[in-house]
Amino acid sequence: MSLDALCLSAVRSELFSKIQGMKIDKVQQPESDMILLSLRNARGQVSRLLLSAGTGDARIHLTNFKFDNPKAPPMFCMLLRKHITGARIIDVTQPPAERALTLVLEAYDAIGYKSEKRITIEMIGRLSNIILSDSDGIIIDCLRRIGGELSEKRSVLPGLLYRNPPPQEGKLDPYNITNVQLHDLIRKAIDSKSANAVTVDKWLLSTFSAFSPLLCREITWRAYAETDYRFATIKDDGAALVKSFLTLMEKVKANDYEPWLITTNDNKPHAFSFTRIMQYEKICKAKRAESFSSMLDEHFTRSSKEKRMSQRCAATLKTINSAHNKLVRKLAVQSMELDETSKRDYLRECGDIITTNLHLLKKGQQILTAEDFYSTSSELREIKLDPLKSPQQNAAKYYKAYTKAKNAQKFLTEQIKNGEKELEYIESIIEQIKRVENEHDLNEVRSELSLSGYIKTKKSQKEKPTESSPLRFLSKAGIRIFAGRNNLQNDKLTLKTASKFDIWLHAQKIHGAHVIISNAGVPPDEGTLCEAASIAAYYSAARKDIKVPVDYTMVKNVKKPSGGRPGMVIYSDFKTITATPDEELANRLRD
């Protein structure tokens, strides 16, 4: 879902009240189509303003999310740093009914004189752009240079005069429409030959600018309690539609905006608006957000980051899933072979019976039927013989098969045990890949997989990545809590960094992060213990469960088993607490 012009007007109003007068401290470009501005107010408080020109997710808002930066800043980022670092935001403007917003900046030129700069973000689909211009409107540079074949109506290139996006042809401005004009338009649509084919929402979308498909459906719903409503079925001469349309526009003109977020029943982002959306209330969940920035952050940034990390993790996850499936198949075959070794005593008995009856056997005989002295009822046993072998060779064949099965049983038991440990390790890797938050976390996982031999790296890539810090939290009581991001970090955190009197927590019998309460030997209060247990539950494979048992003990009771894979430990003298995985709590306590 894209940001429409009316919702953008609400965003502009909110941003103006929050960022006017703030100074730009830093300029970053974490993604090819994203700019992040660090802002500071007079009291020293820092905010981050996100500008995205992505296709389908173009937007501007304050964000609480953190992003990793590329090793070398792109050229456009360095240009912005040169021109706007230290600049002050003096205004936020929007062309009428357009999906574009301009930050008016008070900056300083190369010789120290004040000069006005403008950053314009255009949110118009595949042509979305971020444009830097001077006080005369001359384009200094832009994220996407549009010229030649792409410039059917205007060019956006350095040195040219910036012009607003051309208005949508044939569409009316909803801000200026009157009651009488709207009635006339609706009557014409009702009387038209296509009245039975055209739906009201499609007509609104094609007739007026600034409206999104969602708003057009909502206006229709509020008028007729349906979204797929046709003009031929209108009985009130369009009175309900006029009322619904004008009521919405009155709210817009009065700046009466409310940030509403629509999510599916499994909490996935679905839609958002500046007014309550009623058409989805029976099939989705609607909640009022704290602000338009938090609404857009929740709808776009979270899902966008998850999608991008999912794409980057795909190759690594495919490799490790392949190794997992291969090991599962191998263990299944080994288990079947182990079951076969349970018949080894029967083979030895056959050899004994053949040896006892050697005097009755002749070369070329195919079956021996003899008394089974291993049976309590002295039944007869039929034993298959190889006609090409002598009686002694047949007996030796069964003894050899028995010895082979006996050795295989010992070997397979050991192999299955090692395989199950390896499977547990691979599953822990899969779980932590699903938990990676950024590129650095993924590189650390790939480094561990390279050391374990699951992936190959080029010689130029064998440099050890910079170690990241564990996740840090601060309990309500002010006590530090740490959580490992991956297996190597879990080992370091538990076995090297933590004090032996700190409290160690881990989700019971499932893969997850090692969590440490850094309490300096003082028993933690119940609230801190519950918060740490919730963090351990959330950063585990059981994060989607309602209740998760979490074990906790002192760090001194946690040991590394001999030959154990990274992240694997054994512990004793522990207690168990039941916790609820809580993402909101984890984010709130995160330092």
Q: Residue 558 has what pLDDT?
A: 95
Coil, strand or helix: which one is 140?
A: strand
Residues 315 and 456 in one domain: yes
| Residue 558 and residue 567 in contact, taking contact as beta carbons nearer than 8 Å | no
Residues 17 and 146 in one domain: yes
Q: Residue 268 has what pLDDT?
A: 83
159 occurs within a structural domain: no
Residues 278 and 329 in one domain: no
Last residue of a domain, one of 264, 293, 322: 293
Which residue, 128, 47, 57, 535, is CA-closest to 308?
57
113 occurs within a structural domain: yes
Residues 16 and 144 in one domain: yes
pTM score, two decimals? Answer: 0.67
194 burial (CB, 10 Å; 0-12 / 13-18 / 19+) is exposed
Coil, strand or helix: which one is 106?
A: strand
Residues 442 and 323 in one domain: yes
Coil, strand or helix: which one is 80?
A: helix
Structure tokens at 185: 């338009």
Instruction: Mark 74-87 as b/e (b = at least 16 C-beta within 10 Å).
Output: eebbebbbebbbeb
Coil, strand or helix: which one is 267?
A: coil
Q: Which whole-number Å values give the CA distances from 76 to 84, 136, 141, 144, in the listed order?
A: 12, 20, 8, 10
267's CB contacts (< 8 A; 6+ apart) are 285
CA atoms within 13 A on the CB side of 390: 5
564 occurs within a structural domain: yes
Q: Residue 431 has what pLDDT?
A: 86
Q: Residue 581 has what pLDDT?
A: 93
Q: Which whole-number Å values give the CA distances from 67 to 29, 30, 84, 464, in the listed order?
A: 9, 6, 20, 22
Residues 122 and 196 in one domain: no
Q: Residue 88 has what pLDDT?
A: 96
497 burial (CB, 10 Å; 0-12 / 13-18 / 19+) is middle
Q: Residue 499 has what pLDDT?
A: 93
Listed in sequence order, the DSSP H helices in 67-195 are 75-84, 179-191
173 occurs within a structural domain: no
Last residue of a domain, one of 438, 462, 486: 462
Last residue of a domain, one of 150, 171, 194: 150
* Structure confidence by residue, pLDDT tens digits, 114-123: 899 999 999 9
Residue type, 52: S
Residues 74 and 186 in one domain: no
Output the DSSP codes for 22-67: -EEEEEEEEETTEEEEEEE-TT--EEEEEEE--TTT-EEEE-----
Instruction: State the Cα–Cα distance between residues 435 and 432, nearest whole angstrom.
Output: 5
Which residue, 174, 161, 208, is CA-closest to 189?
208
**Residue whose pair of structure tokens reads 């619904």 in the numeric block:** 244
Q: Which whole-number Å values give the CA distances from 348 to 344, 386, 529, in the listed order?
A: 7, 16, 60
CA 165 to chain centre: 34
215 occurs within a structural domain: yes
Residues 498 and 560 in one domain: yes
323 occurs within a structural domain: yes
533's CB contacts (< 8 A; 6+ apart) are 505, 550, 552, 577, 578, 579
**DSSP code of 557?**
G
Which residue, 77, 82, 94, 84, is CA-closest to 34?
77
| Residue 519 and residue 482 in contact, taking contact as beta carbons nearer than 8 Å | no
Instruction: State the Cα–Cα distance between residues 162 and 141, nearest whole angstrom.
Output: 10
114 burial (CB, 10 Å; 0-12 / 13-18 / 19+) is exposed
Instruction: State the Cα–Cα distance between residues 582 and 586, nearest whole angstrom.
Output: 6
**DSSP code of 504?**
E
| Residue 76 and residue 143 in contact, taking contact as beta carbons nearer than 8 Å | yes
CATH number at residue 135: 2.30.310.10
Q: Residue 466 has what pLDDT?
A: 60
Q: What's the domain count of the chain?
A: 4
| Residue 34 and residue 52 in contact, taking contact as beta carbons nearer than 8 Å | yes
Q: Which residues of the chain have pLDDT under 50?
A: 462
324 burial (CB, 10 Å; 0-12 / 13-18 / 19+) is middle
375 occurs within a structural domain: yes
Give the structural domain span for 108: 5-150
Taking only Cα atoms into account, the Rg of the chain, rounded to an integer number of angstroms, comes to: 35
Structure tokens at 428: 């822990």
Write down how long the chain is: 591
Residues 401 and 482 in one domain: no
Residues 13 and 84 in one domain: yes
Q: Residue 148 has what pLDDT?
A: 65
Residues 448 and 521 in one domain: no
Residues 485 and 529 in one domain: yes
Output the DSSP codes for 457-470: --GGG-SPPPPPPP
241 occurs within a structural domain: yes
Which residue, 391, 407, 385, 308, is CA-closest to 356?
391
Structure tokens at 446: 């790939």
Which residue, 336, 324, 541, is CA-closest to 423?
324
